[in-house]
Amino acid sequence: MANRTPLIIGITGGSGSGKTSVTNAISEVFKNHSVVVIEQDYYYKDQSHLEFEERLNTNYDHPLAFDNDLLIQHIGDLLNNKPVEKPVYDYAQHTRSKETITIEPKDVIILEGILVLEDERLRDLMDIKLFVDTDSDLRIIRRILRDIHERGRTVDSVVDQYINVVRPMHNQFIEPTKKYADVIIPEGGQNEVAIDLMVTKIKTILETDVIV
Distance between CA 140 and CA 158 in Å, rounded?
9
> Which are the contacts of 5, defined by CB distance < 8 A and separation ≥ 6?
79
Contact 17, 174 (CB under 8 A): no
Distances (CA, A) of 80 to 20, 63, 137, 166, 190: 26, 26, 42, 36, 35
Q: Residue ranges for the binding site for ATP?
A: 13-20
Cα 185 from chain centroid (whole Å): 15
> Which are the contacts of 3, defined by CB distance < 8 A and separation ≥ 6?
none
Q: Residue ranges for the binding site?
A: 13-20
Q: Which residues pair with 12 in a beta bridge?
A: 131
